[in-house]
């Protein structure tokens, strides 16, 4: 009985990349679906706000801005190493692919740690009231995306160390960077909704 012992990267076929690849279009389709889901969650937040006489509910303080703002800056910066990786691999330099994504992973983990610290002392749970339910749902959904992205990027990095990627065979790197950018960009309206809008549009 034969067991898998490894794969010769040179034996892998070359694939097209960017919009010429079905994998790229698959990722674009996934992102489109998730944009709709996040947009629905954000719209639900404002709908629930309009239905309530007090928002956030009595006894619940509007969230502080400094920790979420710090987390936002960290997440935005995490997109830079991914961008530099894509630029490098397109010009034939594969060495950043083994290091730069790990920097992005470290920054994403810092983002998640900040979220844990923030929501450990937030003062309400997901079942406390309707405000808590929608806030925890949105934050939890996005944090799950960040965690999944970290795991996916670690897999891509391991494959990079094994020599699976070349300048021509880079569609997985490209789509991983595309999804990373999506997770970063979609956080901006979430930040503006939960933190800025909760402060500026609070009803009492």
- Is there a contact between 184 and 191 (Cβ–Cβ < 8 Å)? no
CA proximity to 190, closest of 121, 138, 114 = 138
- CA atoms of 113 and 83, how far apart (whole Å): 23
Q: What is the structure's pLDDT at 189? A: 96
Identify the bridge partners of residue 55 per DSSP, sorted by sequence position.
203
CA proximity to 62, closest of 193, 171, 166 = 193
- CA atoms of 172 and 165, how far apart (whole Å): 9
Task: Tell me the pLDDT of the chain averaged across its residues.
Answer: 85
Q: Which CATH superfamily hosts domain 16-200?
A: Cytochrome c oxidase, subunit III, four-helix bundle (1.20.120.80)
Give pLDDT tens digits for 7-29: 554 454 545 555 666 777 888 89
Q: What is the structure's pLDDT at 193? A: 93
- CA atoms of 191 and 199, how far apart (whole Å): 11
In terms of pLDDT, which residue wins out, 171 or 112? Answer: 112
- Is there a contact between 39 and 192 (Cβ–Cβ < 8 Å)? no
The pLDDT of residue 203 is above 80: no
Average pLDDT over residues 122-141: 85
Outline where the chain has alpha helix (H). Answer: 22-51, 66-90, 100-120, 130-161, 171-191, 198-200
Give pLDDT tens digits for 63-85: 788 999 999 999 999 999 999 99
Segment among 36-45, 52-61, 137-146, 149-158 with least mean pLDDT: 52-61
């Amino acid at each position: 009985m034969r067991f898998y012992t490894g794969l010769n990267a040179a034996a892998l076929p070359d694939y097209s990349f960017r919009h010429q690849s079905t994998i790229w279009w698959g990722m674009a389709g996934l992102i489109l679906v998730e944009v709709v889901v996040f947009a629905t969650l954000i719209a639900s937040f404002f709908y629930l706000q309009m239905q309530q006489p007090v928002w956030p509910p009595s006894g619940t303080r509007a969230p502080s801005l400094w920790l979420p703002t710090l987390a936002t800056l960290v997440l935005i910066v995490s997109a830079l190493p991914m961008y530099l990786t894509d630029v490098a691999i397109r010009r034939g330099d594969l060495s950043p692919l083994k290091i730069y994504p790990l920097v992005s992973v470290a920054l994403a983990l810092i983002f998640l740690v900040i979220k844990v610290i923030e929501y450990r002392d937030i003062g309400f749970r997901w079942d406390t009231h309707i405000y808590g339910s929608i806030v925890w749902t949105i934050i939890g959904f996005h944090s799950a995306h960040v965690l999944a992205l970290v795991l996916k990027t670690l897999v891509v990095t391991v494959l990079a160390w094994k020599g699976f990627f070349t300048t021509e065979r880079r569609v997985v790197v490209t789509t991983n960077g595309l999804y990373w950018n999506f997770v970063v960009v979609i956080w901006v309206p979430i930040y503006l909704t939960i933190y800025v809008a909760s402060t500026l549009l609070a009803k009492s």
